[in-house]
Amino acid sequence: MTAKIISGREVAEQILTTDLKNKVIALNEKNIKPKLVVVLVGDVKASASYVAQKEKFAVKAGIESEVRRFKKDVTEDEILTVIDNINNDKSIHGVIVQLPLPDHISVAKVLNRIHPSKDVDGFTPTNVGKLFLGEDTLVSCTPKGIMQMLASTGTNLTGKNVTVVGRSNIVGKPVAILCLQQHATVTMCHSRTKDLNAKLADADIVIVAVGIPKFIHGDQIPEGSIVIDVGIHNIDGKLCGDVDFDSASIKASSITPVPGGVGPMTVCALIENTIIAAERIG
């Protein structure tokens, strides 16, 4: 078996240029112009690359975007003041603070300062709590993008066995909740799980976000399963994910590539959340 590639680039392009663009046009007719602000601290090459992609996707959907850049020695209080000003600016509908931040700035303090209505990353305790309770909220971008990729395959999650490898607050936990909300049976695993192979054996869908290069190999993947690889690593100048693509693609029915898989969908979800935030004030 050779797995079908689930292209995040293609799915994102479809969402951005049709559904989201039409929503922006409708908002513009009400004189509402969705706007996203990205706060970027320091000079991290990977962060700059992600921000550039966010700007590119914003243009495709037709929303406004602004990057506010600060030197790495900016104080925590200065960044908190920036967040306060954004919270009070009615022309701004979404804000994200690009991580990582310098060690002298508390990530928790900064993220918690963002008003939940503008938390388009879906990281604030309010939005995480609403997600857990099944209430309408701004859903964390990577989990949201994963669910859209699964939907693009035509998969109905009802009754499916989903094994999530990784328990982060950003990906593992929220994507497990989203799968449960679609009536899947979810098994949560991580790098310290005993007999991981046994936990994977019955999986219809495997979502890997453990942060370890090529942690999952093809011999662990059930025949015909769908594999979503969230990881991205640079090993000797080559990008790879948390899954060994070559061996896994022989066993899986569908698989996401790295790069070009989950990454573009994360950015697409960010743009969509900004539009949702703008619609709520309309």
Active site residues: 54, 98, 121
Sign of torsion over alpha carbons 22, 27, 31, 37: negative
Task: Report the largest interatomic distance among the alpha carbons of the chain, rounded to a whole angstrom.
Answer: 56
Nearest-Å Rg of the Cα atoms of the chain is 19
DSSP helix/strand/coil, 5: strand
Residue whose C-alpha is closest to residue 239's, from 218, 270, 213, 269: 213
For residues 162, 166, 172 and 177, what is the CA-based torsion angle, rounded to 10 degrees? 40
Rama region for 30: left / alpha / beta (φ>0; ψ in -120 to 50; rest) = alpha
Region for 31 from its dihedrals, namely left if φ exceeds 0, alpha if ψ lies in -120 to 50, beta otherwise: left
Question: What CA–CA distance (Å, rounded) separates 220 from 242?
Answer: 13
**Edge-to-edge strand ranges of the sheet holding 4-5:** 4-5, 254-255, 226-229, 205-208, 161-165, 185-189
Which phi-psi region, left, alpha or beta, contains residue 145 (left: φ > 0; alpha: ψ -120 to 50)? Answer: alpha
